[in-house]
């Protein structure tokens, strides 16, 4: 068994205190669980924030003010060694933050109804505290729940996304080391095949090397989710590749796995220049950064599910389009 139980408990205690705290107490909760020089990487417009008090004041307090009675609904919880740092342990959770959208957040008009903010967070634990966090959340999906249309019609479907079909993603207990090793090896093989767009195989054959035929790709709002290799190739992968040139190599800050689940994030993962057609937006020819979190479920020797977080607000900001400001202005009374 591979045990990351100490690190898991540190993050679980942080979540318990954070989720139970009233709004005014949040900066203090972060200060008690996180390093003084915490590096927090978030979805645009938050980007990088330094220090626990700043994270509490700039992100958590406004979010909790907007989404009242907030609940954390986790679907995946895992920990592992970062393959790029021998001594670094990261703890990852994924799910939704659900609340009542009672007050504006990021100038998005409230609905007074339930709202789900899809999220994934990686936490590096060192010396008994959270030293580094990458937390991505699907702001465009929240905008869509509020009746806004941040992007043109997407190529696939976007829903409130469920957790793993097997319901085995909450790995609070230690997992067999060999299972995590198999998962990480499969993710690495997929990145070698798929991550550079240079395998030389027809796309469906390339995918079938590491993906189950009935795979599900749970993509972000603006792109959507798609089911089976054939539909994934048609509804996302092939159009995406056709819409970009000059893709860089893949670079990750953290890549790890535990049990049958694994994932990674980059800052950025890669850069590419849009040549037209992506998300219905015009070509700019200007290289932009793709900040991405990917979480995977392995079934046997194939990848079966993939939850994807892409900071599309940051990408389009680099192309000269402020999606958040443009859409919330249109949606204002």
Q: What is the pLDDT of residues 104-134, one digit of tens each?
A: 999 999 999 999 999 999 999 999 999 999 9
What residue has token string 């690190």? 7
- Asked if 183 and 319 sit in the same domain, the reply is yes
Is 172 within the bounds of a domain? no
- Asked if 321 and 182 sit in the same domain, the reply is yes
Q: 207: domain range?
A: 177-331
Other C-beta atoms within 10 Å of 79: how many? 28
Other C-beta atoms within 10 Å of 246: how many? 10
320 CB-contact burial (10 Å; exposed 0-12 / middle 13-18 / buried 19+): exposed
Nearest to 197 by CA among 138, 136, 246: 246
How far is the CA of 161 from the CAs of 144, 180, 220, 225, in angstroms? 14, 24, 10, 9
Q: What is the pLDDT of residues 226-284, one digit of tens each?
A: 999 999 999 999 988 888 988 898 899 999 999 999 999 999 999 999 997 788 778 88
- Asked if 107 and 208 sit in the same domain, the reply is no
- Asked if 140 and 286 sit in the same domain, the reply is no
30 neighbors 59 (Cβ within 8 angstroms): no
- Asked if 29 and 114 sit in the same domain, the reply is yes
- Asked if 38 and 138 sit in the same domain, the reply is yes
- Asked if 133 and 183 sit in the same domain, the reply is no
- Asked if 301 and 218 sit in the same domain, the reply is yes
- Asked if 189 and 269 sit in the same domain, the reply is yes
Total tally of structural domains belonging to the chain = 2
Is 181 within the bounds of a domain? yes
Residue stretches of the chain with pLDDT short of 50: 333
Other C-beta atoms within 10 Å of 147: how many? 10
């Amino acid at each position: 068994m591979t045990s990351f139980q100490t690190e898991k408990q540190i993050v679980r205690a942080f979540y318990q205190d954070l989720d139970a705290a009233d709004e005014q107490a949040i900066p203090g909760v972060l200060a008690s669980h996180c390093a003084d020089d915490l590096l927090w990487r978030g979805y645009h417009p938050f980007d990088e924030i330094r220090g626990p008090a700043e994270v509490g004041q700039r992100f958590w307090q406004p979010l909790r003010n907007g989404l009242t009675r907030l609940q954390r609904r986790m679907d995946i919880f895992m920990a592992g060694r970062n393959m790029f740092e021998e001594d670094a342990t990261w703890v990852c959770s994924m799910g939704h933050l659900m609340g009542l959208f009672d007050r504006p957040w990021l100038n998005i008009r409230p609905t007074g109804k339930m709202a789900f903010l899809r999220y994934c967070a990686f936490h590096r634990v060192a010396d008994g505290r959270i030293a580094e966090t990458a937390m991505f959340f699907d702001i465009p999906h929240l905008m869509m729940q509020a009746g806004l249309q941040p992007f043109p019609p997407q190529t696939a479907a976007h829903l409130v996304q469920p957790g793993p079909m097997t319901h085995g993603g909450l790995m609070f207990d230690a997992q067999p080391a060999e299972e995590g090793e198999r998962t990480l090896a499969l993710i690495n093989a997929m990145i070698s095949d798929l991550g550079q767009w240079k395998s030389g195989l027809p796309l469906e054959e390339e995918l079938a090397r590491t993906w189950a035929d009935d795979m599900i790709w749970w993509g972000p709002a603006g792109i959507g989710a798609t089911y089976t290799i054939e539909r994934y190739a048609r509804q996302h992968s092939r159009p995406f590749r056709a819409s970009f040139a000059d893709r860089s190599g893949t670079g990750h800050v953290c890549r790890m796995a535990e049990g049958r689940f694994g994932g990674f994030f980059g800052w950025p993962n890669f850069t590419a220049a849009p040549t037209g057609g992506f998300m219905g937006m015009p070509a700019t020819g200007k290289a932009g950064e793709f900040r991405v979190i990917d979480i995977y479920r392995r079934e046997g020797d194939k990848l079966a599910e993939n939850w994807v977080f892409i900071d599309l607000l940051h990408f389009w900001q680099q192309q000269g389009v402020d999606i958040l400001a443009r859409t919330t202005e249109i949606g204002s009374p």
